[in-house]
Amino acid sequence: MNCFVTGASGFIGANVVHALAAGGHRVRALLRAESDLRGLEGAEFERVAGDVTARAGLAKAMRGCDWCFHLAASYHLWLEDYAPMYQANVEGTRNVLEAATQAGCSRIVYTSTVGCIGLPDSSRGLVAPTDEGTPVSEAQMSNPYKLSKWKAEVVARELAAQGSPVIIVNPSAPVGPRDVKPTPTGKVIVDFLNRAMPAYLDTGLNWVHVRDVAAGHLLAAEKGRIGERYILGNSEGNWTMKQALEVLAEISGLPAPKLRVPHLVALTAAYFDEARSRFTRKPPRAPLAGVRMARYKMFFSPAKAIRELGLPQTPPRQALADAVAWFRSRWTQNFPRRFRATGDSFAEPICGSPESVRKCPIWTPRRSG
């Protein structure tokens, strides 16, 4: 198949491109001039310059493509101005899906998030995983990022109802290779390996191998029902942060942090941190939106994707082990000592000079021979 991919330089997007190329598909990737291509190393694809917010030319760029995978999104938990994020996530989604329909794509896979799925009810102390059918409303979107993705899902569902061949996938918390930034979940692993986690804020996530998430995108294009949503997660991956850290300790041989930060303490600190940010105009170290989300056990059931798509289920322990191995293989023996926090919880290595991240020694791949 000829496939058009947006967001190809991102963590999931890069793994989707590799999965498509490995499956013999031809890939055309929409990339901005400043896109970081490290995750795409070794993959064969055609690069098309562009941006999802620039509607003109999208349909032409997709001409001749059978499938479209729309993964591009702006992910920030704190910004001074959220308008550009809404423009990218909501109107950008409309632009891509309408252009793909106009170009004649037979399948359009839109990548949403489990943040748009209803959360478990833990009022009785029990946390049962939720699924695609769990009631949820716009009012439950607790931060601007989640709200933007919710509105983008509304666009996708409306277009599907009008005849566009749109299938929606909702990845949970992927870990594994090619997490070059790293993502927030990847940074948990990096901080753990870096001995930079003296304490933790307990939460619950559905941990899944990014390879399975990438495979789920292809399976959605092959087998997904138009207008349906599919959670791309792991049936055994609903772990608290404490459980995940204990598994990381077993894998790495490093001790897991014992001190759990009470949520009220973290919430108070986040309020003060964001108040400071309004004056300094610098991102908070712990965005309030992230701390609020951590209060919930975000447990989900991928049963529908397993049943209808045949979603692979790599054990979550193996997913964490592969992530640890990848992070260690990417860096030299001296693991980075510190990371510069950013508003969206991504991180950049701090080097001893103002060189670019690409030239930082800790990001230099080991050379064989």
pLDDT tens for 61-84 read 999 999 999 999 988 766 677 788
Q: What is the percent of the chain with per-residue pLDDT over 70, rounded to a whole number?
A: 87
The CATH label, of 3.40.50.720, 3.30.70.270, 3.40.800.20, 3.20.20.60, for the domain at 2-177+208-234+302-314 is 3.40.50.720
The pLDDT of 125-130, averaged and rounded, is 80
Query: Quick check: 338 pLDDT over 80?
Result: no
**46-50, 260-264, 318-322, range with the lowest pLDDT:** 260-264
Query: Quick check: 121 pLDDT over 90?
Result: no
Q: What is the percent of the chain with per-residue pLDDT over 90, rounded to a whole number?
A: 62
DSSP state of 315: -
Query: Quick check: 363 pLDDT over 60?
Result: no
Q: What is the pLDDT of residue 26?
A: 97
Q: What is the pLDDT of residue 122?
A: 65
**175-184, 255-264, 334-343, range with the lowest pLDDT:** 334-343
Q: What is the pLDDT of residue 333?
A: 41
Q: What sections of the chain are H helices per DSSP? A: 11-22, 58-61, 83-86, 92-103, 144-161, 184-193, 210-223, 241-252, 263-280, 288-294, 303-309, 316-330
For residue 287 the two structure tokens come to 């965005």
**11-15, 200-204, 256-260, 263-267, range with the lowest pLDDT:** 263-267
Residues with Cβ < 8 Å from 315, sequence gap 6 or more?
A: 234, 236
Amino acid at 223: K
Domain residues of the chain, as ranges?
Answer: 2-177+208-234+302-314
Q: What is the pLDDT of residue 123?
A: 60
Given pLDDT bands bounded at 50, 70 and 90, which one contains residue 257?
A: very high
Q: What is the pLDDT of residue 77?
A: 66
| SS3 of residue 267 by DSSP | helix
Residue 52's Cβ-count burial label (10 Å; 0-12, 13-18, 19+) is buried
Q: What is the pLDDT of residue 328?
A: 92
Q: What is the pLDDT of residue 335?
A: 45
Q: What is the pLDDT of residue 313?
A: 98
Q: What is the pLDDT of residue 275?
A: 78
pLDDT in tens, 292-331: 777 788 999 999 999 999 999 999 999 999 999 999 988 6
DSSP state of 39: G
Q: What is the pLDDT of residue 143?
A: 84
Query: Quick check: 227 pLDDT over 80?
Result: yes
Could you give the CA distance from residue 73 to residue 252 in angstroms, rounded to a whole number? 32
DSSP state of 225: P
pLDDT in tens, 100-119: 999 999 999 999 999 999 98
Query: Quick check: 360 pLDDT over 80?
Result: no
Average pLDDT in the chain? 85
Residues with Cβ < 8 Å from 24, sequence gap 6 or more?
A: none
Could you give the CA distance from residue 164 to residue 100 in angstroms, rounded to a whole number? 9
Residue 111 backbone class (left: φ over 0; alpha: ψ -120 to 50; beta: rest): beta
Give the largest Cα separation in the chain, rounded: 58
Q: Which among 299, 55, 305, 32 is positioned nearest to 167, based on CA atoms?
A: 305
Amino acid at 55: R
Could you give the CA distance from residue 58 to residue 257 in angstroms, rounded to a whole number? 48
Strands 347-349 and 229-232: unpaired
Supply the pTM of this predicted model: 0.86
| SS3 of residue 209 by DSSP | strand
Q: What is the torsion angle, in degrees rounded to the nearest 10, for the CA atoms of residue 80, residue 81, residue 84 and residue 87?
A: 140
pLDDT in tens, 233-253: 999 999 999 999 999 999 999
Q: What is the pLDDT of residue 349?
A: 32
